[in-house]
Structure 1
Amino acid sequence: MFSERFEMFRNEQPLHGPARPRRTRRRNVTCTFKVTLLRTGIDRLSSLRDAIASQRLVVQREQSETQFAEILRSTFPQLQGREFELCRVDAQRQVSRLSLESKTPAAIIASGQLGRSALYVQEKSTYALAQVNSSPAPAVASFSSPAVASFSAPAVASFSAPAPAVASSPAPAPAVASFSAPAPAVASSPAPAPAVASFSAPAPAVASSPAPAPAVASSPAPAPAVASSPAPAPAVASSPAPAPAVASSPAPAPAVASFSSPAVASFSAPAVASSAAPAPAVASSPEVSVAFSLLSPDTDIYISDEDEYDVDLKSLLNTMSNKVDFTAAPISNQINVTRCNILDSGIRAFRRQRFNPEAKLDVVFRDADGIGEGAADEGGPTREFLTLLMREIHSCEIFDGEDWKKTLACNSKALYNGMYKIVGRMIAVCLIHGGVEPNFFSERLFCQVCNLQPPVPDLQEIADYDFRAKMTKIQLAQNVNEAQCAIMEASDQLSMLGSLWHIQTLEDRDNLVESATKFFIENRLRDSLEQFKEGLECLGLLHLMQKHPQLFKEVFMYEEKPLLAEDISALFKAELSPVGSNRRVVESRTICFWRDWLIEVEEGTAYPLTLDKILGFVSGSTAIPRLGFPVEPKLEFLHPQENEAPKIFPEANTCSIVLRLPIHPSYELFRENMESGILQSPTFGVM
């Protein structure tokens, strides 16, 4: 009974489920262009000073050449009435022309000639046409090799079939090349002739019969003579396609140019035909280049989003900083910090599932009793925390090696707990949120992160002292027997590295040392490196590092750049009382004390106080960020108030970055109280 019911139920069901509409991938019909107008005469891109203006454009992918050119001209008025050609920049920053069948967005993308370069549009220069006698001769350009002939003898031969007029004569004439709009054909006989295309305003057709002809055809009437004249006529530049012959006509003829490379033809008595009215000439203009790169995020074709030669470090840091919303901090971004456990406090916050590095941080410092220090985080506590956090990262367990040349350490527990990834995210947040630079990477670690070729392994890079000593003994062995004995002493470590083998020559010894050193320094850390790079992907830092390694080298590798007294002096703007007041006199004297004291601190006479400690007391950061502080640092003065004891020590607000200087009658008192106040302050900006 059950089987019969099941059979009936199965027969009632449709064989197939409901038809689902097939999902098709929507093709992106637009392209985004970053356009940069360059200065005139640029044949090699050398610096950002070559750029005049930049603009991003969104254009239709299937636009025609004319539409595309008009958009560029309307965006940059400097290009109005000027012709240009498309180019690229190679690794040596040299500008070279692209080979394209058509100058459209679709053709540019499909060509794939750009690579990592931007797309450049460089203006062609043109020259005015010379006159022949009192009436200038028409100049016509086509899509072919340069060929417009003139003769000293005034006669155009007649033919029963069309023939192109191609000839040259001794005297040179200037070439005319342009990038204009389509021009109709020039003709003199009933046979049809192809139109001469261009990229600007249309030029009228010149005809002497109802239909244009491509060649000088025979006719019963005598052919018009080609008159020689003392005035030279311009040659016509052409491009690499077959060119129709140009017939003459008594009507005035315009000058028409093609968009290809200029050519020079030579003439002795140049004139195609005499004309009653002068032919319009193509005016020359200075060269202007336009550089732009294509961004097409929804297409399958990768197009570089910016020219790697048109950026600097500050613009890259600004790009990443713009991803962060500094207006409000979510509760998941609150970091509760105790000064004795800075790194642990940060790890707890960065491990949260909802922690958002693209949102503002809310740092709250807690004292020993767990009570907040009372400062609302308007930037100062964040800068202080990130500065202290970077110091802790510098000496944490995942790094090894010299103090300012750190490499990754092999720590299986840290790898299992994801510590490498967390520290990578911390470094990205410290750099972008607070401008704190991790300038302690070794050259090897920086090259590994940026996918560059690392330097040759060196025994001195082995952090394990015992293993380094054993490998050094193998390397310094004078013969094979001595080397084999040294290898046996290091057999335990070498076997774990897979580098324990029998040697027969000193060359085998060198190969063993090189193999073991490379594996110890690089290969065994491969998983740790990948996890560390995964953390550096936060806020797009890793992508920009790998794309512009030379710009980020000074951020991640140590280069001694001490703060100078003039740097701090120029950083602060003094809030002064009105001119002529008694307070203004006292303030001017205090500023002189302040600047003299900074010079003494720079010279080291106030040790252990340093300029970076002074800056940290005021701002929470021990270095001036590359993007500058979010607000302008200020100097204020602690004038005595009625019914209040005078304040003799400096005060600071790290959020608004304000330093309040005490008022003292002598420089000795000012110096003593400034040094004592800053050195004895328990935290940044607190006295």
Structure 2
Amino acid sequence: MVKCCLSIFHGPRVESSFSLMNEVIDQRSGNMNVPTFNAIQTVNSGRWTEHYEEHKGEAETCGKTAKAGHGDTGGPGKEEKMRSGSESITNCVLKSQEGVFQLGSVEEGIDAGGPRREFLTLLMSFLQSRPIFEGPPQSRYLVYNAAAIREDEYVMAGKMIAVSIVHGGPGPHFLSRDLVNHIAGQPGFCAHVTDVTDDEIGRALSEIELAHSLKSLRDVLLKHSSMLQTAGCFRRVSSVEEKHTVVAEYLTWYTIGRNHSVIERFKDGLASLHFLDALCQHPSVLAPVLCHTDKRLTSVEVERLFLPQLSPAGSNRRTTETVALSFWADYLMDCEEQGPVSLEELFMFITGLKTEPPAGMTPHPCVTFSQETIYPMANTCANTITLPLLGTYTSFKANMDCN
């Protein structure tokens, strides 16, 4: 596997991140089950920690709200503060210099990746609840919002997503498949009436779908002629089966056509770091990063991902570490079976992410051991968890859950 580093901070010009993405994707033959962007990882980001600590509380609140599926993020004051914080982060990490975007500053020793990944995770949750999106929580599409237009929030949202994916954070995993296909220039449209948030329009489309005869279909089309004329899909039908075409055409206009201008602004943001170019050239690899997936972490995946750092074979310490490693494997299975701690929560505790990111994990996650503590310790910058060396699984699990 090609492993390149995009040295953004040392020198005025760098090789195109887009060409590096192509190199990795081509060598992996479009395999969606392995990280895509290891070639463009970078770990120097000086100002992430400052803004992360300042706005972490608001971001966590917004993230919880988004998870619950609510649009209100906690009142005008908190909304304005979080919006301002998001702008500060975006302005901080997206600095164009002769066509090259920079991440952070040249300061050293401030953030080796952990706070950045955790902030990007919270930022993606925050975006999901923004008023620029509508639709089901797991399949959201862009809508026109006058205030967001004034604030240029569509471009900002696109930049946030591009930066998160390219620099080791998560993808949004909530965009509509139809929206992503449209952005990537791919065919296919599968929106459903349930995606419509306007109750009146939803009822009208349902009436059209439920028409059982040609006469009833014509009557219901005439009844809702004004609505259909707005979308340019009101016409005379000659068979009852045409109802599906009428509904599909209206849904296409409702989710894509009427929002064309803001979708273009969103694409302008996604073009940061050449992510949009890569998406259009490799949609089968990158589209799943943007859309919802039912796939969740498994105990086998986590156990395989975290490499144990064991003492020399035959030593007494190696024996106790092997016992702790077996406890670790059992604990992962308990987490997968919906115990007090989920695998996603455990992964977040160790890495600042809820799942393995598209760009892969750098440095590689590992498991270490310590006799100096009875509780687990995590280093999110090093993607490392230190396990306590305890005598029984009962005490091991209790201390893991407690922490």
TM over 0.5: yes
Please state which structure has a larger fraction of its residues in strand: 1
Question: Once the 2 structures are TM-superposed, how far is the Cα of residue 480 of structure 1 from its aligned partner?
Answer: 6.8
Give the letter for the 1:423 counterpart: A
2:309 pairs with one of 549, 552, 575: 575
The residue type equivalent to 1:359 in the other structure is Q
Q: TM-score normalised to the size of structure 1?
A: 0.45
Q: CA deviation at 1:316?
A: 6.0
The CA distance in 1 between the partners of 2:333 and 2:93, in whole Å, is 47
Find out whether 1:317 has 2:34 as its counterpart: no
Change (3 A) 1:610 1:506: same
Partner of 1:597: 331
Q: Which amino acid aligns with 1:406?
A: R
Indicate yes or no: 2:369 matched with 1:637: yes
Alpha-carbon distance in 2 for matches of 1:633, 1:307: 21
User: Shift of residue 537 of structure 1?
Assistant: 0.1
Q: Quick check: 2:162–2:270 contact (8 Å CA) kept in 1?
A: yes
Asked whether the equivalents of residues 178 and 188 of structure 2 are also in contact (C-alpha less than 8 Å), the reply is yes
| Structure 2 counterpart of 1:30 | none
Of residues 317, 329, 346, the one that matches 1:614 is 346
**DSSP 3-state at the match of 2:174:** coil
Alignment deviations for residues 578-605 of structure 1 (CA, whole Å, 9 cap, x no partner) = 555544433232222222222222233x
1:388–1:308 distance in 2 versus 1, CA, 3 Å:
closer
2:395 to 669, 672, 680: 669
**Which residue of the partner structure matches residue 396 of structure 1?**
130
664-673 or 537-546, larger mean C-alpha shift: 664-673
1:463 to 185, 193, 197: 197
Aligned equivalent of 1:352, options 87, 91, 96:
91
1:633 maps to amino acid: P
Amino acid in structure 2 at the alignment position of 1:655: C
Q: Report the Cα distance in structure 2 between the residues aligned to 1:629 and 1:584, rounded to whole angstroms.
A: 27
Distance 2:402 2:89 in 1: 37
Structure 1 SS opposite 2:350: helix
1:263 aligned residue: none
Q: What is the 5 A alignment of 1:347-386?
A: 347-350=86-89, 352=91, 355-356=94-95, 358-361=101-104, 376-386=110-120
Letter in 2 for 1:532: F
Cα distance change, pair 499–553 in 1 and its aligned pair in 2 (3 A): closer
- Equivalent residues of 1:499, 1:516 under 8 A apart: yes
Structure 2 residue identity aligned to 1:568: V
**Alignment partners' CA distance in 1, 2:248 and 2:141:** 18
Larger radius of gyration: 1
Matched ranges for 1:139-538 at <5 A: 312-313=29-30, 317-318=37-38, 321=40, 326-327=43-44, 329=46, 335=52, 336-341=54-59, 344=83, 346-350=85-89, 352=91, 355-356=94-95, 358-361=101-104, 376-455=110-189, 458-478=192-212, 482-483=216-217, 486-487=220-221, 490=224, 493-494=227-228, 496-497=230-231, 503=236, 510=243, 513=247, 515-538=249-272
Check whether the contact 1:565–1:611 (CA below 8 A) recurs between aligned residues.
yes
For the aligned residue pairs, the C-alpha RMSD in angstroms reads: 3.7
The 2-side partners of 1:350 and 1:542 are apart by 21
Q: How much has 1:337 moved relative to structure 2?
A: 2.1
CA contact (8 A) 1:346 1:389 kept: no
Given the superposition, is the C-alpha separation of residues 478 and 663 from structure 1 closer, same or farther in structure 2, using an over 3 Å criterion?
Answer: closer
Report the Cα distance in structure 2 between the residues aligned to 1:623 and 1:383, rounded to whole angstroms: 11
What is the rounded CA distance, in whole Å, between the counterparts of 2:166 and 2:334 in structure 1?
A: 33
- Report the CA distance shift for 1:360/1:669 in structure 2 as closer, same or farther (over 3 A): same
Q: Specify which of 516, 523, 546 is matched with residue 280 of structure 2.
A: 546
Residue 334 of structure 1, CA deviation: 5.1
Return the match for 1:651 from 367, 373, 377: 377
Structure 1: distance between partners of 2:296 and 2:261: 36
CA contact (8 A) 2:124 2:170 kept: yes
Do the aligned residues in 1 keep the contact of 2:36 with 2:358 (CA within 8 Å)?
Answer: no
The answer to whether the 8 Å contact 1:438/1:555 transfers is yes
Aligned residues of 1:573 and 1:635 also touching (Cα < 8 A): yes
Match for 1:625: what amino acid? P
Deviation at 1:576, TM superposition (A): 3.6
Q: Which segments of 5 or more consecutive residues in structure 1 lack a partner in the other structure?
A: 1-47, 49-296, 298-304, 363-374, 641-646, 678-687
Partners of 1:332 and 1:356 within 8 A in 2: no
Equivalent position SS for 1:339: helix
Q: Which structure is richer in relative contact order (CA contacts within 8 A, separation 6 or more)?
A: 2
Whole-angstrom distance in 1 between the partners of 2:241 and 2:336 = 54
Q: Larger deviation: 581-590 or 526-535? A: 581-590
| Cα distance in structure 2, aligned partners of 1:648 and 1:308 | 43
- Contact 1:444/1:455 (CA < 8 Å) preserved in 2? yes
> Residue 428 of structure 1 contacts residue 539 of structure 1 at CA under 8 Å; is this kept in 2?
yes
Amino acid at match of 2:88: A
Counterpart Cα distance in 1 of 2:103 and 2:282: 27
Deviation for aligned residue 1:563 = 1.9
Tell me the secondary structure at the aligned position of residue 386 of structure 2: strand
**Cα shift at 1:611:** 1.4
Determine the C-alpha separation between the residues in 2 that align with 1:406 and 1:543: 22
Q: How many residues align?
A: 351
2:289 corresponds to 1:555:
yes
- Indicate the SS of the match to 2:87: helix
CA contact (8 A) 1:474 1:487 kept: yes
Call closer, same or farther: CA 1:544–1:579 in 2, change over 3 Å: closer
Mark the CA change 1:669 to 1:333 in structure 2 (over 3 Å): closer, same or farther.
closer
Q: Distance in 2 between matches of 1:350 and 1:377?
A: 14
- Listed one character per residue, the Cα deviations across residues 27-82 of structure 1 (whole Å, up to 9, x for unaligned) are xxxxxxxxxxxxxxxxxxxxx9xxxxxxxxxxxxxxxxxxxxxxxxxxxxxxxxxx
Letter in 2 for 1:413: A
Contact preservation (8 Å) 1:404, 1:441: yes
2:320 paired residue number: 586
Displacement of 1:519 after TM fit? 2.1
Bigger fraction of residues in helix: 2
Deviation at 1:544, TM superposition (A): 1.1
The CA deviation string for residues 601-647 of structure 1, in whole angstroms up to 9 with x for no partner, is 2233x2x411121111111112123443221323233314xxxxxx3
**Distance (Å, rounded) in 1 between the aligned partners of 2:383 and 2:219:** 64
Structure 1 equivalent of residue 66 of structure 2 = none
Q: Is the 8 A contact 1:638 1:662 kept in 2?
A: yes
531 and 612 in structure 1: CA distance in 2 versus 1, 3 angstrom threshold: same
Aligned partner of residue 37 in structure 2, secondary structure: helix
Displacement of 1:668 in angstroms is 0.7
CA distance in 2: counterparts of 1:456 and 1:672, whole angstroms: 46
Structure 2 partner of 1:195:
none
- Tell me, in whole angstroms, the C-alpha distance in 2 between the residues paired with 1:559 and 1:459: 21
Query: For 1:625, which of 345, 357, 372 is the aligned residue?
Result: 357
Using the alignment, how far apart are the partners of 1:659 and 1:508 within structure 2? 59
Question: In structure 2, what residue type is equivalent to 1:340?
Answer: E
SS in 2 for 1:661: strand
- Structure 1 position 541, deviation (Å): 0.5
In 2, Cα distance between the equivalents of 1:315 and 1:508? 44
Alignment deviations for residues 87-143 of structure 1 (CA, whole Å, 9 cap, x no partner): xxxxxxxxxxxxxxxxxxxxxxxxxxxxxxxxxxxxxxxxxxxxxxxxxxxxxxxxx
Q: 1:429 to 1:354 in 2, by over 3 A?
A: closer
SS state at 1:434 partner:
coil
